[in-house]
């Protein structure tokens, strides 16, 4: 096996191949565990209060707690552009992961990219 690096090809060792396989199996196992526990990673543009427009354009009503809403409102006051937020949804509740002024929806993979 070879891999392409900046215009040149390099041989891949058997150890590297095994490491790639191990990493791929680990990521698949983690993904399956999250899906079986019905944990979803979501992201979109925060519109205020519990309103979010997800990266696909759908309007969502996400029930953030009072502290999270306060933190988002304070961050939005300091930013001239809308906030992009990422959060986890699970049967146990919702957890905000990140809020940024960068439009992270630009990097969200689409089914056609996979």
Whether residue 25 is found in the same domain as residue 45: no
Whether residue 8 is found in the same domain as residue 45: no
| Structural Rg of the chain based on CA atoms | 19
Q: What is the CATH number of the domain that holds 91?
A: 2.40.50
Whether 7 shows a pLDDT value over 70: the answer reads yes
Do the beta carbons of residue 97 and residue 104 sit within 8 Å? no
Structure tokens at 40: 């979803």
Do the beta carbons of residue 101 and residue 48 sit within 8 Å? no
Higher pLDDT, 56 or 107: 56
Whether residue 44 is found in the same domain as residue 32: no
Whether residue 88 is found in the same domain as residue 67: yes
Range of the domain at 22: 2-36
Task: For tokens 């690096």, name the residue.
Answer: 5
Percent of the chain with pLDDT over 90: 51
Whether 62 shows a pLDDT value over 90: the answer reads yes
Whether residue 27 is found in the same domain as residue 44: no
Do the beta carbons of residue 56 and residue 112 sit within 8 Å? no
Number of domains in the chain: 2
Q: Which of these, 56, 48, 42, lies nearest to 86 by C-alpha position?
A: 42
pTM given for the model: 0.67
Query: Chain-wide mean pLDDT for the chain?
Result: 88
Whether residue 18 is found in the same domain as residue 62: no
Residue 114, pLDDT score: 66
């Amino acid at each position: 096996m070879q891999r392409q690096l900046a215009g040149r090809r390099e041989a891949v060792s058997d150890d590297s191949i095994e490491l790639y396989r191990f990493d791929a199996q680990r990521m698949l196992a983690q993904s399956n565990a999250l899906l079986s526990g019905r944990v979803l990673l979501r992201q979109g543009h925060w519109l205020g209060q519990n309103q979010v427009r997800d990266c696909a354009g759908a309007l969502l009503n996400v029930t953030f707690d009072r502290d999270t809403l306060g933190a988002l409102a304070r961050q939005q006051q300091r930013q001239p552009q809308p906030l992009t937020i990422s959060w986890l949804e699970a049967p146990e509740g919702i957890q905000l992961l990140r809020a940024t002024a960068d439009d992270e929806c630009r990097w969200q993979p689409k089914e056609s990219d996979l």
